[in-house]
Chain A
Amino acid sequence: MQSRTIFWMIFTLVILLLVLAAALLSLTTGEASISLADIIPVLKEKEGMEYFILTEIRMPRIILAFAVGGALSLSGAILQGIFRNPLVEPYTLGISGGAAFGVALTIVTGMHFTIGMFMLPLSGFFGAMATILLVSLLGFLRGGTDIHKMLLIGVMISFVASSSMMFLMSVTTAENLHGIIFWIMGSLDEPNRLLIRITLFSSLAGLAISYLFARPLNALLLGEDKAGHLGINSRHTIRILFLVASLLTGICVSVAGVIGFVGLVIPHLIRLIAGSDYRFLLIGSFLGGSFFLILSDVIARTIISPNELPIGVITGMAGGVLFIIVLNKFRNRKQHGG
């Protein structure tokens, strides 16, 4: 077997263990501390306060963090590949802006009282879908796939959406304003089991589908024309992957709000450590994102306990600092012939 394949397998195993460790840490820490040894007895008991905390509060959060972190990071890796631009992340294309606008509109018009708790995620999802539809329609118009045009359109839509949202925020009541800001900052506090299941299922499905395109993505690294000469239908590949990545982002944003930085930083970190071969990058990014978000969530809910920080604060700060450190280390090593 290739030495690189072995390295990939070991690396995958290590991140998997890290994910598991983070999950256990998340299970045991919180307002009510439950020790590692107690977890299994408590789960066997199937009743009591601690059982409720584990299964109803902490586990759903871990699963959601796993799914959202993985999906956002995966989307980032995919989009950076098809746009051949390292600065693209899931929110660059205005998907988060569209979702946030949808939610803001719902809150301002008071519609979220009508259908109940599904209304906010649903309106976020509709906002995200409207954005994706707009970007695809304008970008894929007349049979072309001008990815640079698509990128610019996405950025512009993002501006329009956030300005519209700010307009709504400036004319609405303080109470609504609070609701909007709270939603935008993002949270993994999602009580609905169905939504968590949908998110988990779609993120895993997204990983499976995009993995089928791992080798075409490697070829796209050389540009659309070259990929075409290697027998890859570039347009087809880009369209499918664009839809996968934006659907995943749309789902994540509507369930958990705008959790920034995961989709930008994690794929880069994995690339720095293990190279840009998509056969590993896709899996590595997914698991890396999961690990990062589960850990960030633990920090977010313990650092100013009993209160909870918005998780976006942690991901942004920790992600940014971590990235600068790693970048410096690796760049230095490269320069010294490492």
Chain B
Amino acid sequence: MVADYLKIDKLCCGYGRSFNLKDVSVSLKQGVFAGIIGPNGSGKTTLFKGISGVLKAKSGKILLQNVDLGKLKLGEKARRVAVVSQFPDAADITVEDYVLLGRLPYRQSFQFFESARDRVIARKYMQLTGVFRHAKKLMSQLSGGEQQLAAIAQALTQEPELLLMDEPTSHLDITHQVQILNLIQRLNRETNLTVLMIIHDLNLAAEYCDFLIMMNNGDVHTMGAPLDVLNYKNIEDVYNTVVVTQNNPLSGKPAIFLVSEKVLKEVQERYKRSE
């Protein structure tokens, strides 16, 4: 295992002068399942866009096995890094065609049609994600969860070594949330696929990720194993919200409980009276 598989070195990118990352440095090992967490406006998406290449780096660089991602050819990059965006693509194309677009990075010049191999690979990942039975349907006819699964099938069809996902489970019910994350976890374990995803839900982040990057104000607040990152101090510091943390009885991973204002006041009063 290479120590620094993905090395983000003093990366600064953003939107004009209004918001920029503050020279973020992160190192990830190969085969890790990493999550980016943090409140709205903390720079999660900016960091994500910087890594996926949507935003150009103003300074600093991103090295994938010591190769500068910014200098890699787009086709070569797409064969190594796949991106699943937050909002699924509800275009008027069939699921099969949509997933097959994942083979674009592998096309030869003057190759207008997918090869038989391309079809086999697309079929494999459609079956794995469970969207194969919808293959002939239009993307726009699928539900949000199914569209997200198709988007993941497309990303996997690129056969990447690094998978970037922007909140793959937002606006999904718990069935789909767990289905998607279990699938990603399995691929991560079995194929050594490195995963980096933005995730809002701290409990899901704690349960599935083995490395967390907590962002705040365009900078990394804390990073490390979930147990080290997701303690009440860090969370209250970053989110300005009172929480209670305990460990999941089965997995031993931290679980976060929110406390309502009413309960909080009652607790405080009880505390005063006992004094």
Contacts and interface: CB of A to CB of B under 8 A. Distances in A.
Contact of A219 (B77, B79, B101, B112): B101
B110 A212 contact: yes
A276 B158 CA distance: 22
- Residue of A219, A225, A229 with most partner-chain B CB within 10 A: A229
A221 to B, nearest CB: 5
A230 B158 contact: yes
Contact of B92 (A231, A276, A279): A276
A211 B112 contact: yes
- Residue of A216, A222, A225 with most partner-chain B CB within 10 A: A222
B264 to A, nearest CB: 42
Given A228-B53, A229-B78, A231-B77, A222 B105 contact: no
B84 to A, nearest CB: 9
Interface in A191-231: 211-212, 214-216, 218-219, 221-223, 225-226, 228-231
B107 A277 contact: no
Interface string B39-81: 0000000000000111000000000000000000011111101
Given A211-B112, A214-B112, A219-B101, A228 B93 contact: no
Given A225-B85, A231-B75, A276 B93 contact: yes
Contacts of B184: none
Contacts of A185: none
A5 interface: yes
A221 B107 contact: no
A232 interface: yes
Nearest to B76: A231
A233 interface: yes
Interface in B85-118: 85, 89, 91-94, 97, 101-102, 104-105, 107, 110, 112-113
Given A228-B74, A229-B52, A277 B93 contact: yes
Interface residues of A, number: 23
Given A231-B77, A231-B79, A222 B52 contact: no
Nearest to A222: B89
Contact of B74 (A215, A218, A232): A232
Contacts of B92: 275-276
Contact of B105 (A218, A221, A231, A275): A231
Interface majority SS (helix, strand, loop, mixed), chain B: mixed
A215 B82 contact: no
A226 B85 contact: yes
A314 to B, nearest CB: 30
Given A230-B101, A231-B77, A276-B93, A225 B54 contact: yes
Contacts of A222: 89, 91, 101
Given A215-B104, A218-B97, A277-B97, A230 B85 contact: no
B112 A229 contact: no
B83 interface: yes
Contacts of B104: 215-216, 219, 230-232
A221 B74 CA distance: 18
A87 to B, nearest CB: 15
Nearest to A277: B97
A279 B112 contact: yes
B170 to A, nearest CB: 18
Contacts of B94: 275
A106 to B, nearest CB: 43
Contacts of A5: 113
A275 B78 CA distance: 26
Contact of B83 (A218, A229, A275): A229
A219 B113 CA distance: 14
Contacts of B85: 225-226, 229
Nearest to B110: A212
Interface string A223-265: 1011011111100000000000000000000000000000000
Contacts of B52: 229
Interface string B227-240: 00000000000000
Contacts of A233: 74
Nearest to B84: A229
A176 B188 CA distance: 74
B66 to A, nearest CB: 21
Nearest to A1: B113
Contacts of A279: 112-113
A252 B256 CA distance: 66
Contacts of B113: 5, 279
A210 B7 CA distance: 39
A28 B105 CA distance: 50
Contact of B78 (A218, A221, A231): A231
A221 B93 contact: yes
22 contacts: A211-B112, A215-B107, A215-B112, A216-B104, A218-B101, A221-B93, A225-B54, A226-B85, A226-B89, A228-B74, A229-B52, A229-B78, A230-B102, A231-B78, A231-B104, A232-B74, A233-B74, A275-B92, A275-B94, A276-B92, A277-B93, A279-B112
Report, nearest first, the 3 A-B pairs whose CB atoms are least far apart: A231-B78, A231-B105, A231-B75
